[in-house]
Amino acid sequence: MIRAFALLVAAVALLAGSGHARAQGFPGFPGFQGGFDMREGGPNFSIGASNPIPRQTVRFESQYRPGTILIDTAERRLYLVLQNGVALRYGIGVGRDGFRWGGVHRISAKKEWPAWTPPSQMLARRPDLPRYMPGGIDNPLGARAMYLGSTLYRIHGSNEPETIGQAVSSGCFRMTNDDVTDLYSRVAVGTTVVVKN
């Protein structure tokens, strides 16, 4: 029994060191689809938190230029258009009923570990919310935020990864901290964001 266990541990260690195992994005391996990456987020990321909708490279034929972000609220997915008919597809949380919207905007600002000041419209609905919250792991905007034009909306991280794939926000688009950090590193201020409702 001990020998079988030792062989199992050795096999797992061998897979962990191989490039093939890493390319598959096994849960818990650093830097891959829900893993913990000290280089990206440091100790503020949730160790062991898994991504309910893993990031994938997919075929994506469209009229959009590479670098464009397309958000499909019905599908609850965000696509970053790449070259050669492919895109990176991320799972997102979207606005709940009555808070979904569509249109074309550009990323007007990017912030790491952003502070959060709930807008007056949200405070009117939820007077129990704090008036200001500094950036950090407990902040609902998560690790990164990309602001959409002059709207109140953002693409941002979340300290509630279980809400990815759900319709629960007040109009913003939530991603896991791992995914939003990845997207943030790939786009610039001025990036076009198409929201399809």
Tell me whether residue 105 is one of the annotated catalytic residues: no
Q: Give Cα separations from 3 to 44, 88, 120, 151, 158 (angstroms).
A: 38, 43, 63, 61, 43
Structure tokens belonging to residue 170: 């007040």
**Residues 52 and 161: beta-carbon distance below 8 Å:** yes
Tell me whether residue 20 is one of the annotated catalytic residues: no
DSSP letter (8 states) at residue 90: E
Q: Which of 172, 180, 187, 195 is catalytic?
A: 172
Q: Which of 81, 156, 169, 173 is catalytic?
A: 156
Q: In terms of residues, how long is the chain?
A: 197
Catalytic residue ranges: 156, 172
